[in-house]
Amino acid sequence: MELTKEQIKYIDNQIANYGVDYWDVRIELVDHTVSYVEVNLKNQEEFKKVVHKAFVNLGWKGTFSHLNTQGWKNTNKFYRKIYVNGFLDFFKNLKNLILFIILFLVYYSISEFTSISVFVKFSYILFFIPGLLFFWKSYVVWRKKIGNSVHKLYGLHYIICTLLIFQIIMVSLGKSSLFSIPVEYHKLVLFTLMPIHLVFSYSGYQVYKIAIKKVENMKNKMIS
């Protein structure tokens, strides 16, 4: 028995009330529930009872908060795999590899023709570029009014993942840092950290594009 829009809206509201705040996690639960109800509903009077049975089959325990958490974990696992593979695949592409070598040589040349303090400041600028991209893309998705979306949040997160991880090392290059790295090791640290950071950030941006495309497709399906 095919459900009405009002019945589907009721299911969506119930799932939201049971602790699933993010609509892209909720929509999967709604799809499973609707499919179950359409197969098992014999008459309209039993609608709420059949919905309850569908919830129990999904693992309802007075709340869906545990499924909400599981949805986060599954989504993160999916994008983390793309993120790591994107980093590795970057070096398997000949054009990328050539570009990487050229840019690294330019970066090395700058270190040779400037003082260490200027080189560190230049490296700070490079380091925070993914952060600027993060804020810009956050504004873009805000303008699109995507709403509370797990896919959106992880897409944005992976743009700045290494920025958040490596920032403690970058801070340690400063003279006033509590745990300062000796000046003689600054170049070694930066030659190691910056390529890893920027390639991972590039991979994170690819994750972002995949995540936002997925969200927009889900939104379009909801509208249609």
Q: Where are the domains of the chain?
A: 5-63, 67-223
Say whether pLDDT at 108 is over 70.
yes
Least confident of 5-19, 36-50, 115-129, 140-154: 36-50
Q: What is the mean pLDDT of residues 32-57?
A: 82
Triad 111, 90, 216: Cα angle to 5°: 115
Say whether pLDDT at 18 is over 60.
yes
* pLDDT attached to residue 119: 95
Average pLDDT of the chain?
89
What distance in Å separates the CA atoms of residue 60 and residue 63, rounded to the nearest whole number?
A: 6
* pLDDT attached to residue 145: 86
Q: How far is CA 37 from CA 5, 22, 25, 173, in A?
A: 13, 22, 19, 60
Q: Please tell me whether the overall predicted TM-score, pTM, comes out greater than 0.95 for this model.
A: no
**Comparing C-alpha atoms, which of 41, 13, 191, 222 is closest to residue 103?**
191
- For residue range 175-222, list pLDDT tens digits in order: 766 678 888 999 999 999 999 999 999 999 999 999 999 988 887 776
* pLDDT attached to residue 177: 64
Q: How confident is the model at residue 127 (pLDDT cuts 50, 70, 90)?
A: very high
